[in-house]
Amino acid sequence: MALWALASYGLMGSGQQRSGLNSRHRHVVVMRTEGGGMGLIVVSDFIAQLWKRETDCHGDVSWSSWRTIELDKLLPPNSEKEPPNMIGYAEENNVAFFWTVVGVFMVHLESLQLKKLPVTGIAYRYYPFEIVYTPGTFSLRI
């Protein structure tokens, strides 16, 4: 989602409060923060910043950067030839997917554990799929 779209819905707060967030970033994805709040993953070149939206007792909205991930230090060698593209985010598992010149990687945003995903051909797509199953809520009748 573009930052201008968030601003048009009043989700960004005032101009001073969003000075660190601007439209020069390559990728912006809405995410859930700790405690279920609204956050953003903002990727620019080899830096991923995690932002969280906060509301004070007067209802004023502000954004604060709560984590910076240096992707060039996290991803394998030779991936720094071209900045990674964030191609997805899976909310339930809190993982982001990045395309690099050496492959596609899944990064767990809390532990920063990295996993290279398999490539099955020249053209490939990844669709994060998450399912939640609560025991005892499913019955199958034949």
Query: Dihedral, CA atoms, 1, 108, 63, 26, nearest 10 degrees?
Result: -40
Residue 3 predicted with pLDDT over 50: no
Neighbour tally for 84: CB within 10 Å: 27
Question: Would you place residue 97 in the very low, low, confident or very high pLDDT band (cuts 50, 70, 90)?
Answer: very high
- Is the per-residue pLDDT at 62 higher than 50? yes
71 in Cβ contact with 80 (< 8 Å): no
**According to the model, what pLDDT value does residue 5 have?**
45
DSSP code at position 3: H
How far apart, in whole angstroms, are the C-alpha atoms of residue 108 and residue 102?
19
Cβ density class 25-56: b for 16+ within 10 Å, e for less: bebbbebebeeeebbbbbbeebebbbbbbbee
CA dihedral angle for residue 26, residue 29, residue 35, residue 37, rounded to 10 degrees: 100
pLDDT tier for residue 141 given thresholds of 50, 70 and 90: low
pTM of the model: 0.71
What is the percent of the chain with per-residue pLDDT over 70, rounded to a whole number? 64
Ramachandran assignment for 108, one of left (phi > 0), alpha (psi -120 to 50 degrees), beta (any other): beta
Give the model confidence (pLDDT) of 5-33 as tens digits.
444 444 555 544 444 555 455 688 899 88
> 95: closest CA among 84, 81, 109?
109
pLDDT score of 142 = 56
